[in-house]
Amino acid sequence: MSQTKHILVTGGAGYIGSHTVIELINAGYSPVIADNFRNSHKSAISGISEIAQQEIILRELDVCDLDSFDKVFNEFSFVGIIHFAALKAVGESVERPLDYYRNNVLGLLNCIELAEKHKVRNIVFSSSCTVYGEPKGEKIVNEKTEMGVANAPYGYTKQIGEQMINDVIQSGADLRILNLRYFNPVGAHPSSKIGELPIGKPSNLLPFVTQTGVGIHDALKVFGNDYNTADGTCIRDYVHVMDVASAHVKGIEWLEKQSNSFVEILNIGTGKGTSVLEIIHTFEEVSGKKLNWEFAERREGDIEEIYADVSKAKKLLNWSNERTVKDAVQDAWNWELKLKNG
């Protein structure tokens, strides 16, 4: 009988985490979720369980609590760790910086310390394109693009996380670490059993669009119409959450085949930019509804245009996105309707 391949997924009940757990199961792994539900909902666990048609292993704990975190490592023998557990709202990080530094930096520190202690060599770290800040004169960024000034404490916590990983590898730690810098994950599982569940008002565009579509908000504000882009609105690289999830699985599979210790960085996106207005028009197309929206003043800290060069992920992991922005908007809308109708 083949050995059970346990993967620890911290923050596995969260948005990207829950979709990744599904993809891990599909690839033959046995995920163990560690989550304290500070930034997620328990309903995600039953959604994952329904899709996978199996019981999900869950340990309710805070990764910042070293002792309780250590117990999971004593209970299971992990072949790898995918570390999502982090607070991630840019605006909130400006209001509550210490919460973000404590949670995001200490959580990763504990994760690396326990990986070393328990000899778990393979780690995928959930980083972010926010580490690039606003790249000077570049719209399309690759992994060699210099880190810019982060536009909020959230971005700094990811920069600090990557620096910590570099220093640990530099010190001779026997670890293989993959930093995945994702651009803008969107959409939901096609079954509509799991999806993005923002706590409070969404800080991301697509959930705000779909929530406005079902009447939770009166109108969507489009911040700025005078950017130097084709339609005057900001441009981002929106990548389907299921594609992001599959990148983590391919990342773990790739790490398992390597021998040396190293840190590697990969952008995860589509390599294409989509404007705010294009997202609105796509939503109107898939939903058959007119969306109530209006232009507003530019928002502090918004970057005009940024998207990913994803050639390295294709070369290293043989990964590229398989789903379109339209697929993502359709799946997000189906998920929103499911939430509305219970």
Q: Which residues are catalytic?
A: 154
Tell me the DSSP string of 245-302: HHHHHHHHHHHHH--S-EEEEEEES-S--EEHHHHHHHHHHHH-----EEEEPPPTT-
Residue 53's Cβ-count burial label (10 Å; 0-12, 13-18, 19+) is exposed
The region, left, alpha or beta by phi > 0 then psi within -120 to 50, assigned to residue 29 is beta
Cα distances (angstroms) measured from residue 167 to each of 5, 160, 164, 248, 259? 28, 10, 5, 23, 19
Angle at 242 between CA 329 and CA 248, to 5 degrees: 145
